[in-house]
Amino acid sequence: MTFQAPKGTFDWMPPRSELALSVREQMSAPLRLAGYRYVETPAFEDTALFARGVGESTDIVSKEMYTFEDKGGRSITLRPEGTAAVVRAVLQHGLHHGPLPVKVWYSGSFYRYERAQKGRYRHFSQVGAEALGVEDPALDAEMIQLAAEAFASLGLTGVELLLNSLGCAACRPAYRSALQDFLRGLDLDDATRARVEINPLRVLDDKRPEVRAQLAEAPLVSDHLCEACKGYHEEVRSLLRTAGVAFTDDPRLVRGLDYYTRTTFEYVYEGIGAQTAVGGGGRYDGLSEMIGGPPLPGVGWALGVDRTVLALETEGLVEANTPRAGVEVYAVPLGDEARRVLFDLVLELRGAGVSADLAFGGKGVKGAMKGADRSGAAYALILGERDIAAGAAQVKHLASGEQTAVPLAEIVTMFKEKLVK
């Protein structure tokens, strides 16, 4: 029997895996410069964490979670998103008792039982960031700017930022009531009608054409914002303009999770498959209380690594963002004694910061040189019995074919000077 990756998943393999790793690193670089520290949470949590935090009316909780009972009889769920778990960890370890805001970032795998297709996977990767403990429009603007900087650092030009406000506990009830009155008059299926009563904003996030066609005249949350929310949102917009971050106001933008309040945003990219969103987030001032914690306002985002890779491929930016493959020096031993000498030299080269590999398996010169070509190395380091007797190795520049003898004692210094910046 030959095994394959489960449906809706895929393997990251070189060189595409190197691109994905580079994307993660470039997404996190602006965060580290802004004082965000790395955290890592378990791949699974108590099911109740997501049921409370994400919301039982969401598709994620009602349809898409991988939930099972462990051997202790506990209901466990593979994490479908990162924010609830990060907030749980911050509360559990008391980070909110220290300096505020608590600024953290994470990177990892997440799991949803989606309808598998290009751009929508059941196992996917994200880089995320959260800032907890402060309600400040400048913090929202910083968060949005950091994501924009991450996409810009990759060279992407087709990413569009959509921006909206979902209001707060003071003004959202009136909007909720107006929206419910409108939705109750539509031709909706029973499941969607039930959602109207539980969380009507989720209906606005429905992607089915037959539902979206009926939402054209739905009331807008922007028409129901209180003065405090209007002022807060306008300050976020003003700060983004000052920072040079382009955005499009989208009064119909909602996010697929129940915990969002006020600022909400999404980064979209057309033409990469079933989903256009390559990232998004917003403010979630009530999430901590939802999962049993104290009041702890927060704002955050998650950027999709998989979809960003698709965007890079669409714009022809793969080569520009993929680290150089292979090693710089490929050592070719001709005989047992040469293998012993080169084994030590390869370790010394690596210790000096030079990437190096060795032709393993006792290959002849022809086979070993083919290995050198496949490795992507710039130089081959060839050593035979005569070279050992002469105390020198042959250094061949593979692109030009130029070959010179270099004393063994000078090999590491020479390559360090040539290759280590």
Q: pLDDT value at position 256?
A: 59
Crossing angle for the helix pair 172-183 and 190-198, nearest 10 degrees?
A: 160
Supply the DSSP symbol for 130.
E
The highest-confidence range among 89-93, 323-327, 363-367, 377-381, by mean pLDDT, is 89-93
Dist. CA 360–CA 375, nearest whole Å? 13
Residue 57: pLDDT band (50, 70, 90) is: low
Q: Which residues contact 318 (CB under 8 A, 6 or more apart)?
A: 19, 312
Out of 50-54, 100-104, 232-236, 320-324, least confident range: 50-54
Q: 112 a known binding residue?
A: yes
Measured in degrees and rounded to the nearest 5, phi and psi for residue 48 equal -60, -30
State the average pLDDT over residues 178-207: 86
pTM of the model: 0.89
Q: pLDDT value at position 54?
A: 79
Q: 284 a known binding residue?
A: no
Instruction: For Cα atoms 269, 272, 277, give the angle at the middle one, nearest 5 degrees.
Output: 40
Q: 260 a known binding residue?
A: yes
Report cis status (omega within 30 of 0) of the bond before 15: yes
Q: Of all helices (H) and strands (E), which one includes residue 403?
A: strand 403-407
Q: 394 a known binding residue?
A: no
Instruction: Indicate where the chain has its CATH 3.30.930.10 domain(s).
Output: 16-171+225-320
User: 158-187, pLDDT tens digit by residue?
Assistant: 999 999 999 998 998 888 899 899 999 888
CA dist list (Å): 361 to 332, 368, 379 = 11, 9, 20
The highest-confidence range among 61-65, 241-245, 326-330, by mean pLDDT, is 241-245
Q: 83 a known binding residue?
A: yes
State the average pLDDT over residues 144-156: 97
CA dist list (Å): 275 to 108, 115, 119, 143, 269 = 20, 11, 6, 22, 9
Residue type, 285: D
Higher pLDDT, 151 or 115: 151
Residue 70: pLDDT band (50, 70, 90) is: very high
Q: Which residue matches tokens 């924009």? A: 148
Dist. CA 103–CA 120, nearest whole Å? 29
Q: 113 a known binding residue?
A: no
Q: What Rg do the C-alpha atoms of the chain give, in angstroms?
A: 27
Instruction: Indicate where the chain has its CATH 3.40.50.800 domain(s).
Output: 329-419
CATH number of 16-171+225-320: 3.30.930.10
State the average pLDDT over residues 115-139: 92
Classify residue 31 as exposed, middle or buried by CB count within 10 Å of its CB (0-12, 13-18, 19+).
Answer: buried
Q: pLDDT value at position 364?
A: 76
The highest-confidence range among 44-58, 226-240, 281-295, 367-381, by mean pLDDT, is 226-240
Q: pLDDT value at position 368?
A: 77
Q: pLDDT value at position 93?
A: 98
Q: Nearest-CA neighbor of 78 among 109, 118, 127, 111?
A: 111
Out of 157-171, 369-383, 387-401, least confident range: 369-383
Q: Which residue matches tokens 């309600």? A: 135
- Backbone conformation region of residue 420, classed left if phi is above 0, alpha if psi is from -120 to 50, else beta: beta
334 and 365 Cβ atoms separated by less than 8 Å: yes
Residue 56: pLDDT band (50, 70, 90) is: low
Whether the pLDDT of residue 257 is over 90: the answer is no
The overall average pLDDT reported for the chain is 91
Out of 26-40, 153-167, 272-286, least confident range: 272-286
64 and 8 Cβ atoms separated by less than 8 Å: no
Whether the pLDDT of residue 374 is over 70: the answer is yes
Percent of the chain with pLDDT over 90: 70
Whether the pLDDT of residue 2 is over 70: the answer is yes
Q: Which residue blocks in 222-375 are alpha helix, DSSP H?
A: 227-242, 287-290, 305-314, 318-321, 336-351, 365-375
State the average pLDDT over residues 409-417: 94
In the β-sheet with 261-268, what is the strand arrangement from edge to edge? 37-38, 102-111, 123-132, 298-304, 277-283, 261-268, 160-165, 248-249
Q: Which residue blocks in 172-304 are alpha helix, DSSP H?
A: 172-183, 190-198, 201-204, 209-212, 227-242, 287-290
Q: pLDDT value at position 354?
A: 95
Tokens of 49: 């964490």
CA 244 remoteness from chain centre: 23
State the average pLDDT over residues 196-224: 86
Task: Count the alpha carbons within 13 Å of 47 in the hemisphere toward its beta carbon.
Answer: 16
Q: 255 a known binding residue?
A: yes
Higher pLDDT, 29 or 194: 29
Q: pLDDT value at position 371?
A: 78
Q: CATH number of the domain at 329-419, out of 3.40.50.11030, 3.30.1320.10, 3.40.50.800, 3.10.105.10?
A: 3.40.50.800
State the average pLDDT over residues 351-372: 85
Q: Which residue matches tokens 């968060």? A: 143
Whether the pLDDT of residue 274 is over 70: the answer is no
